Chain A
Amino acid sequence: MLPVGLASDEAPAHELQHVAAVPIAPAATRSGAPAQPVTYLFLNSEEAAFIEAAVARLIPADEQWPGAREAGVPNYIDKQLGGAWGAGERLYRGGPWQKGTPSQGYQLPFTPAELFRTAIAAINGELRAATPFADMRSDEQDAYLRSLEAGGKDLGGVASNVFFATLWECTVEGFFSDPVYGGNRDMVAWRMIGFPGAYASYYEVVDRHGIKIDRAPTSLAEDVHGHVHVHPAIPARLP
């Protein structure tokens, strides 16, 4: 376990290698292979433990379908925070910073990486004396998440509801985005809902009202053999 306060970019990546928790329900993969271990590049092991446990409550697994943890959402979040988006891509960062009304949206100076780091440090700091989040029972975890969601708690300068909303958005993104980004492993979320994915040409069938489209979904990053080549650091701009 790294000392509190040591930023992830001060330690070599191999010291941060963290094997993802064994999934409750192994992800249904095309080839039947189990979930791969994750190399975290941004999250330290304390942060990763929180993220893994939190996303597992936000989108849990059930008998039918895996949840966010099995789908690789922690990996997605790690790569986003460690990449351009986490560093503040496309974010207006000029001051002064003023509180604003709810209609005016996000008005904090934090980049996403800073937001997560600050908020999770405050959460882990608060819970260390009691029970770390990852060690709580799931109903306790849910209650804690609800308390974050309700707001009213200051996490090192981040309102807890702002952190919760960002964490939730990232979880949904990691669950439903193209697997090229490291989440939605084996397109399990797309299979769950029946979204066919990136290859999308429906002229012939759009007027076959009610037709059931149940082909395996296709990723933008897959080749003709069905292998998805993951590239989590795609920037949000046209080259």
Chain B
Amino acid sequence: MSQFVQPNSVAATAIVVALCLTAPGHVLAQSSTRQPDAKRGAVIAAQGTAQVPACAQCHAFSGASDSSGTFPRIAGQSAYYLAKQMHDYTSSARANPIMSPISKALSADEIADVSAYYASVDSQFPPLATADAAIVEKGKQLARVGDAARAVQGCNNCHGPDGAGATPAIPYLAGQYAQYISSQLQMWKRGFRNTSPESMAPIAKQLDDQQIAAIAAYYQQVRGQQEVPDATDASAAKR
């Protein structure tokens, strides 16, 4: 049932209360909002810091990474999501032999900056092998409709129109490398990735290897504009 919020339309006993009671500011936790600095992020991406190698070494300065798909494409990815991943590496919620020490050696401000930078760039797609049309079609069905027999909903429900993403929290899949998508789904399936334990893990566990490969093949070949980069999301700095 819906809520009742039209006091205009009923004989309202309106009580105007000018309260100087504190607005619930303490739950907002967005006190001194330092705006992320994408320019400084670009420098970190290109050169690294005294403690960490340049992001560009694996992810390319353009964020397109490379065609091996070992390193995810991060160009135009949600800044909030990128920052969250790095904070997860820092806290060990997520574990990776390359990313974990890098994230741990970056400050929260540096994470915010480099996330803002990569969120703001777009880049070409490297030439990639074309996957089998039948497999791509199967992936498209899973992306749009899911698998009823396994009670798995279509990926696009959360990940946006054909995987365009839904900032702040949900990353794009459109154009993400098949190798990376399938490796992450396998990690969840096998219990090695512990983030999103109630969404991605049960979904991945319901999928078989062929379905994972199909979903990955489908999204790799989707070409769309990434979401308008959300470099102004100050909350990315607050994880």
Q: Footprint of B on A, CB under 8 Å? A: 196, 199, 201-205, 208-216, 218, 222-226
Q: Give Cα A13–Cα B199 distance, bound, in whole angstroms.
A: 50
Using an 8 Å CB-CB cutoff, how does the interface string of B13-34 with A read, 1 for contact, 0 for none?
0000000000010011110000
Interface size band for B: 20 to 34
Query: Separation in Å of the A223 CB from the closest CB of chain B?
Result: 6
Contact of A212 among B29, B222, B227, B235 (CB under 8 A): B235
Whether A210 lies near B164 (C-beta < 8 A) is no
Known contacts A199-B160, A224-B222: does B166 contact A215 (CB below 8 Å)?
A: yes
Is B131 among interface residues, defined by CB-CB distance under 8 A? no
Contact of B174 among A202, A203, A218, A224 (CB under 8 A): A224
A-B contact pairs, 28 of them (CB 8 A): A199-B160, A201-B157, A201-B166, A203-B169, A203-B198, A203-B199, A204-B196, A208-B235, A209-B27, A210-B28, A212-B233, A212-B234, A214-B233, A215-B167, A215-B227, A216-B228, A218-B164, A222-B161, A223-B161, A224-B160, A224-B161, A224-B162, A224-B164, A224-B222, A224-B223, A225-B224, A225-B225, A226-B164
Contact of A216 among B169, B227, B233, B234 (CB under 8 A): B227
Known contacts A215-B227, A218-B160, A224-B162: does B28 contact A209 (CB below 8 Å)?
A: yes
B164 / chain A contacts, CB cutoff of 8 Å: 218, 224, 226
A204 / chain B contacts, CB cutoff of 8 Å: 169-170, 196
Whether A199 lies near B161 (C-beta < 8 A) is yes
Is B168 among interface residues, defined by CB-CB distance under 8 A? yes
A201-B157, A203-B199 known; 7 new pairs, CB 8 Å cut-off, are A209-B27, A210-B28, A212-B233, A223-B162, A223-B224, A224-B164, A224-B174
B230 / chain A contacts, CB cutoff of 8 Å: 214-215
B198 / chain A contacts, CB cutoff of 8 Å: 203
Whether A205 lies near B168 (C-beta < 8 A) is yes
Whether B169 lies near A205 (C-beta < 8 A) is yes
Q: Give Cα A224–Cα B224 distance, bound, in whole angstroms.
A: 5
Whether B225 lies near A224 (C-beta < 8 A) is yes
Q: Give Cα A34–Cα B228 distance, bound, in whole angstroms.
A: 20
B169 / chain A contacts, CB cutoff of 8 Å: 202-205
Is B152 among interface residues, defined by CB-CB distance under 8 A? no
A201 / chain B contacts, CB cutoff of 8 Å: 157-158, 166, 170
Q: Give Cα A196–Cα B169 distance, bound, in whole angstroms.
A: 13
Name B228's closest neighbour in chain A (CB-CB).
Answer: A216
CB proximity to A under 8 Å, residues B142-194? 157-158, 160-164, 166-170, 174
Query: Separation in Å of the A18 CB from the closest CB of chain B?
Result: 32
Is B232 among interface residues, defined by CB-CB distance under 8 A? yes
Q: Give Cα A31–Cα B30 distance, bound, in whole angstroms.
A: 32
A215 / chain B contacts, CB cutoff of 8 Å: 166-168, 227-228, 230
Looking at B29, B160, B166, B223, the one whose CB has the most chain A CB atoms below 10 A away is: B166
B199 / chain A contacts, CB cutoff of 8 Å: 203
B30 / chain A contacts, CB cutoff of 8 Å: 210
Name A211's closest neighbour in chain B (CB-CB).
Answer: B235
Query: Separation in Å of the B91 CB from the closest CB of chain A?
Result: 16
Looking at B30, B163, B235, the one whose CB has the most chain A CB atoms below 10 A away is: B235
B228 / chain A contacts, CB cutoff of 8 Å: 215-216
Whether B222 lies near A199 (C-beta < 8 A) is no
Contact of A224 among B29, B163, B170, B232 (CB under 8 A): B163
Name B224's closest neighbour in chain A (CB-CB).
Answer: A224
Q: Give Cα A44–Cα B232 distance, bound, in whole angstroms.
A: 46
Name A212's closest neighbour in chain B (CB-CB).
Answer: B235
A218 / chain B contacts, CB cutoff of 8 Å: 160-161, 164, 166
Give 9 nearest A-B pairs by CB, closest first: A224-B224, A204-B169, A224-B162, A201-B158, A210-B28, A215-B167, A209-B27, A224-B164, A205-B169
Name B29's closest neighbour in chain A (CB-CB).
Answer: A210
B167 / chain A contacts, CB cutoff of 8 Å: 215
B160 / chain A contacts, CB cutoff of 8 Å: 199, 218, 224
Q: Give Cα A225–Cα B170 distance, bound, in whole angstroms.
A: 17
A208 / chain B contacts, CB cutoff of 8 Å: 235
Whether A213 lies near B161 (C-beta < 8 A) is no
Whether A214 lies near B162 (C-beta < 8 A) is no
Looking at B158, B167, B168, B235, the one whose CB has the most chain A CB atoms below 10 A away is: B168
